[in-house]
């Protein structure tokens, strides 16, 4: 499950507004006693909290807890985790924090919330997938064009297939480099940079046959992306065409010199 960080935030905000309005119109869970404006604020705030929690939890679930597992398992675990803070928000807004609630009451409230969370996350995943904001899962090939079948010489290069994971504005762009930032990858292109939710190890596997090499434990650089070289404190680094510097560690220096700079 690869996802642009910016697209995730924008999509989550838009989705929160839409779902907040729908739940307000439907007066879900007997909220019809509230004035409409209050219901909109209540449900929109609840969805925003849930989506922010989802943004924080998702990288850990995908990269650590359920690494390389089916997206359905990701959705289940994410929903189970984010439902806890959302339950507290619901309790604060709708009922007031009642310390006299029994464990059974809290479980019932949590059960209501997890149903909403599963629906919210599943619909969000389907929508993001449909609009191309989520790329294929690790090990799954990026979707190919629906046009005429391509011959072997016309098939997209590994770099082009990797670029299909980015938003539409990057289609046809030239890949310069990929660098790791926590659970995200920063993709450097001739049209700018973009963050996607993906492990570097998966990117390296996908770019294995591309015209580029790993230069550092957190960097992969394409031959097309190199404008110049430099040395800092005796260490080689690559100057990308964007002006950014890509480090070259000693363990990769020989490979870089022989395969990228030759």
Q: How many domains does the chain have?
A: 2
What's residue 146's pLDDT?
Answer: 45
Question: What's the chain's length in residues?
Answer: 262
Looking at the structure, do residues 72 and 11 belong to the same domain, yes or no?
yes
Looking at the structure, do residues 45 and 86 belong to the same domain, yes or no?
yes
What's residue 147's pLDDT?
Answer: 46
Residue 154 has pLDDT above 70, yes or no: no
Last residue of a domain, which of 81, 101, 135? 135
* Alpha-carbon distances, residue 94 vs 21, 81, 224 (angstroms): 17, 21, 57
Average pLDDT, the chain: 82
Gap between the Cα atoms of 53 and 85, Å rounded: 8
Q: Give the helix/strand (H/E) hosting 253.
A: helix 250-255
Percent of the chain predicted with pLDDT > 90: 33
The tokens of 211 are what?
A: 């015209």
For the stretch 161-204, pLDDT in tens is 888 888 888 888 999 999 998 878 999 999 999 988 888 888 99
What's residue 100's pLDDT?
Answer: 64
What's residue 249's pLDDT?
Answer: 93
74 inside domain: yes
What's residue 153's pLDDT?
Answer: 46
Looking at the structure, do residues 37 and 6 belong to the same domain, yes or no?
yes
For the stretch 212-224, pLDDT in tens is 999 999 999 999 9
Query: Picking from 41-50, 116-125, 141-150, 246-255, which range would have the lowest pLDDT averaged per residue?
Result: 141-150
Residue 15 has pLDDT above 70, yes or no: yes
- CATH code for position 225: 2.40.50.1020
CB under 8 Å to 98, separation ≥6 — which residues? 91
Residue 14 has pLDDT above 70, yes or no: yes
186 inside domain: yes
Looking at the structure, do residues 170 and 124 belong to the same domain, yes or no?
no
Looking at the structure, do residues 239 and 186 belong to the same domain, yes or no?
yes
Quick one: pLDDT band at residue 148, thresholds 50, 70, 90? very low
Residue 9's Cα: distance from chain center in Å?
10
b/e map of 92-119 (b: 16 or more CB within 10 Å)? ebeeeeeeeeeeeeeeebbeebbebbbe
111 inside domain: yes
Tell me which DSSP letter residue 156 carries: P
Gap between the Cα atoms of 231 and 229, Å rounded: 7
Pairing of strands 212-216, 2-3: unpaired
Residue 64 has pLDDT above 60, yes or no: yes
Quick one: pLDDT band at residue 51, thresholds 50, 70, 90? confident
Over residues 56-79, mean pLDDT: 82
What's residue 256's pLDDT?
Answer: 93
Locate tokens 């007066």: which residue? Answer: 27
Gap between the Cα atoms of 152 and 137, Å rounded: 24
Gap between the Cα atoms of 47 and 12, Å rounded: 9
Residue 4 has pLDDT above 60, yes or no: no
Looking at the structure, do residues 120 and 167 belong to the same domain, yes or no?
no
Looking at the structure, do residues 190 and 98 belong to the same domain, yes or no?
no
What's residue 116's pLDDT?
Answer: 85
Looking at the structure, do residues 172 and 51 belong to the same domain, yes or no?
no
Beginning with the edge strand found earlier in the chain, give each strand of the sheet holding 245-247 in spatial order: 226-232, 235-240, 245-247
Residue bearing the bigger pLDDT, 6 or 17:
17
CB 188 within 8 A of CB 179: yes
Highest mean pLDDT among 59-73, 106-120, 153-167, 234-248: 234-248
Looking at the structure, do residues 12 and 128 belong to the same domain, yes or no?
yes
Containing structural domain, residue 246:
157-260
């Amino acid at each position: 499950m690869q996802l642009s960080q910016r697209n995730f935030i924008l999509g989550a905000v838009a989705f929160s507004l839409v779902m907040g309005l729908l739940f307000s119109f439907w007066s879900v869970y007997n909220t019809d006693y509230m004035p409409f404006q209050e219901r909109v604020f209540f449900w929109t705030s609840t969805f925003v909290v849930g989506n922010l929690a989802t943004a924080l939890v998702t990288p850990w679930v995908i990269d650590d807890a359920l690494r390389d597992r089916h997206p359905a398992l990701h959705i289940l675990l994410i929903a189970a985790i984010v439902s806890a803070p959302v339950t507290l928000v619901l309790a604060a807004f709708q009922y007031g924090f009642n310390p006299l609630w029994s464990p059974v009451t809290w479980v019932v409230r949590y059960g209501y919330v997890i149903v909403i969370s599963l629906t919210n996350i599943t619909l969000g995943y389907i929508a993001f997938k449909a609009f191309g904001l989520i790329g294929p899962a690790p090990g799954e090939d990026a979707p190919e064009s629906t046009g005429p079948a391509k011959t072997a010489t016309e098939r997209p290069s590994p770099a082009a297939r990797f670029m299909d994971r980015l938003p539409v504005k990057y289609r046809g762009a030239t890949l310069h480099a990929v660098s790791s930032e926590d659970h995200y990858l920063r993709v450097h292109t001739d049209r700018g940079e973009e963050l996607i939710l993906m492990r570097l190890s998966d990117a390296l596997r996908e770019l294995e046959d591309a015209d580029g090499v790993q230069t550092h434990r957190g960097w992969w650089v394409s031959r097309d992306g190199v404008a110049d070289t430099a040395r800092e404190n005796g260490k080689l680094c690559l100057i990308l065409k964007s002006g950014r510097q890509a480090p070259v560690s000693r363990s990769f220096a020989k490979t870089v010199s022989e395969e990228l700079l030759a």
